Structure 1
Amino acid sequence: MRITGTNGIKGIRESVARPAVALACTAALAALCGCTTQAAGSDGRHRLPVHIQLPSRRPPSGRSPGPSPTASDAKPVAEPTATRAAAPPRVLWSRGDTGTDVRELQARLRQVAWLFDGPTGTYDDLTEQAVQGFQGKRGLPRTGRTDAVTWQRLRAMTHRPGTWELYLMGGQPAAAPDRRCLTGRVLCISKTSRTLRWMIDGRTVSTMAVRFGAQYTPTREGVFHVYWKSRHHVSTLYHSPMPYALFFSGGQAVHYSYDFAARGYAGGSHGCVNVRDEAAIADLFAQVRNGDKVVVYW
């Protein structure tokens, strides 16, 4: 072949360049598509296949490939049983509670010699102390509150108290008033039920628990009258305080007793009628007048 002039040389160059450009475009397209192509030499013969592989997208360090979890795919992780704190026993009764259940608790505490008072039906300081002692003896937390565990342990050691155990030891409902109490203004005091009724013309105004004289200093029985009121009285014979004293027979009086409030029926008086509820006797002291009748009976 004969080549003449510059135009001839330029044509040869273009004819050589066109296949090379086509080959480069084909390779680029294959790279974009992830395909495999075959390169052809200048002689038109096919060469070995050219494999083009797109770069892989690796997940960030610490994550495995796969679809991202959604909120619905998340599963709650259960807290290990060992780390869960045990719930404290349910408290049934504590200081200030009242009712027949508290009265039964007190009666059962009396059976095991942890309480010598009442039963009164009121969860007072003496009951709290008795429960603390019972709990400590059995290795239970000394809370003074009766929870389910304490109650179950106490029930297993005692029998169900009868009417006598629930009421006859004190704190029981007031006995029916004596017929001598049905007229006028009367302090109607029953030794059987250990209660005092404050009555006006046959109507009961208030009631309260009382205790009486010990064996060798008994409280006198009969009909008397209040002859002296002494708010801050102190016994000249025993040198003991007798607040809110309402004297009705010699040195015997109805009055508040710190010992009765602290020890209950475990103690006794020197003949006086002791009241344990200070608020109740204070209210009574304000209402009773000199000359009002006092009836002490069985």
Structure 2
Amino acid sequence: MQGIRIRRGLAAAAVAALAAGCTAQAATGTPDAKPSVRQDESSTPSATPTKTATPKSTPKSTPTPTPSATARHTPAPKPKVLMANGAKGAQVRELQARLRQLAWFDGVPTGTYGAVTTAAVKGFQGKRGLAATGATDTVTWQKLLAMTTKPTAAELTGTLPGNKAGKLDSRCLHGRVLCISKTSRTLSWVNDGKVISTMDVRFGSQYTPTREGTFSVDSKSRNHVSTIYHTAMPFAMFFSGGQAVHYSADFAARGYNGASHGCVNVRDRARISALFDQVKVGDKVVVYW
């Protein structure tokens, strides 16, 4: 009996020991507690990319001003010089004729680029906001081409209407005549066959052509303003309805890069002013090709 009690006691002790062992593993709770820690740590990496996103955006904005700053400081290439002081040839003659159309060159085209031509080019450049070097570069030449027309043979040689043949139009040989040639685009004030003065003129477009023929000055108006176009027509000398010889500020500014509404435009104010004082009502006007 005593042996039986001892064995039962040992069995009970073993059962109690096993129960205590399971309770100890469960009580430590280490395996169950670690997942909660991992969950907290797993949130840390998710926050880390958010912080590293800030420096990534910084390099994108840093190089942006560099190219534009470089472009702003890159000097523009200088235009190529086509003609300058000392040059000679047909292109120089054309240059002089075109400058004469804009009243920058008053002499006869010679084909030699000298001091007079240099001064004319410099004046043209300064008036148009270009570098006033006096040398004709590509920019100056293109600007001049846009404002003028191809010079006629008379313009290239500097001859007056009829002077090449030694005669004016036959209708201009007698009396006091405003002799106006559409071919050479000039007006000559002629007294009994003698040319007193000559000036450049511009005519109407194909839609408002200047009439050709023989007329007479029927009225004069020193400070006239057009009742149709409401534009100034100083020193107007009417010869055919509303058509007149008069000063044109637009012609002085734009040259042959434009046209009148039918009138004969003069761009030299001093010359048209002097002419206005000499011409009388009744004087002949001849417009011809």
What range is the shorter-chain TM-score in? 0.5 to 0.7
TM-score by length of 2: 0.53
Alignment deviations for residues 63-103 of structure 1 (CA, whole Å, 9 cap, x no partner): xxxxxxxxxxxxxxxxxxxxxxxxxxxx849xxxxxx9975
Deviation at 1:175, TM superposition (A): 1.5
Do residues 247 (structure 1) and 238 (structure 2) align?
yes
Name 2:59's counterpart in structure 1.
none
Name 2:125's counterpart in structure 1.
128
Name 2:282's counterpart in structure 1.
291
Tell me if the contact between 1:103 and 1:121 (Cα under 8 Å) persists in the aligned partners: no
Cα distance change, pair 243–131 in 1 and its aligned pair in 2 (3 A):
closer
Deviation at 1:104, TM superposition (A): 3.9
Cα distance change, pair 166–286 in 1 and its aligned pair in 2 (3 A):
same
Tell me if the contact between 2:102 and 2:254 (Cα under 8 Å) persists in the aligned partners: no
Do residues 175 (structure 1) and 175 (structure 2) align?
no
In structure 2, how many angstroms separate the alpha carbons of the residues matched to 1:240 and 1:227?
A: 21
Do residues 279 (structure 1) and 270 (structure 2) align?
yes
Tell which has more relative contact order, 1 or 2 (C-alpha 8 A, sep 6+): 2
**Structure 2, gaps ≥5 residues long:** 1-83, 107-119, 143-148, 163-167
The within-5 A match list for 1:46-195 is: 92=85, 103-105=93-95, 121-122=105-106, 123=120, 127-129=124-126, 133=130, 142=131, 144-146=132-134, 150-151=135-136, 154=138, 165-168=150-153, 172-176=158-162, 177-195=168-186
The within-5 A match list for 1:196-275 is: 196-275=187-266
Corresponding letter in the other structure for 1:275:
V
Tell me if the contact between 2:104 and 2:124 (Cα under 8 Å) persists in the aligned partners: no
Corresponding letter in the other structure for 2:247:
Y
In structure 1, how many angstroms separate the alpha carbons of the residues matched to 2:185 and 2:256?
A: 10
Cα distance change, pair 116–283 in 1 and its aligned pair in 2 (3 A):
closer
Tell me if the contact between 2:122 and 2:133 (Cα under 8 Å) persists in the aligned partners: no
Alignment deviations for residues 35-88 of structure 1 (CA, whole Å, 9 cap, x no partner): xxxxxxxxxxxxxxxxxxxxxxxxxxxxxxxxxxxxxxxxxxxxxxxxxxxxxx
In structure 1, how many angstroms separate the alpha carbons of the residues matched to 2:272 and 2:190?
A: 14
- Larger C-alpha radius of gyration, 1 or 2? 1
Aligned residues: 178
Deviation at 1:215, TM superposition (A): 1.3
Tell me if the contact between 2:236 and 2:245 (Cα under 8 Å) persists in the aligned partners: yes
**Over aligned residue pairs, what C-alpha RMSD do you find?**
3.6
Cα distance change, pair 211–268 in 1 and its aligned pair in 2 (3 A):
same
- Looking at secondary structure, tell me which structure has more helix per residue: 2
In structure 2, how many angstroms separate the alpha carbons of the residues matched to 1:218 and 1:126?
A: 32
Corresponding letter in the other structure for 1:105:
L
Corresponding letter in the other structure for 2:95:
L
Corresponding letter in the other structure for 1:145:
T
Overall identity of the aligned pairs, in %: 56
Q: What SS does the aligned partner of 2:256 have?
A: helix
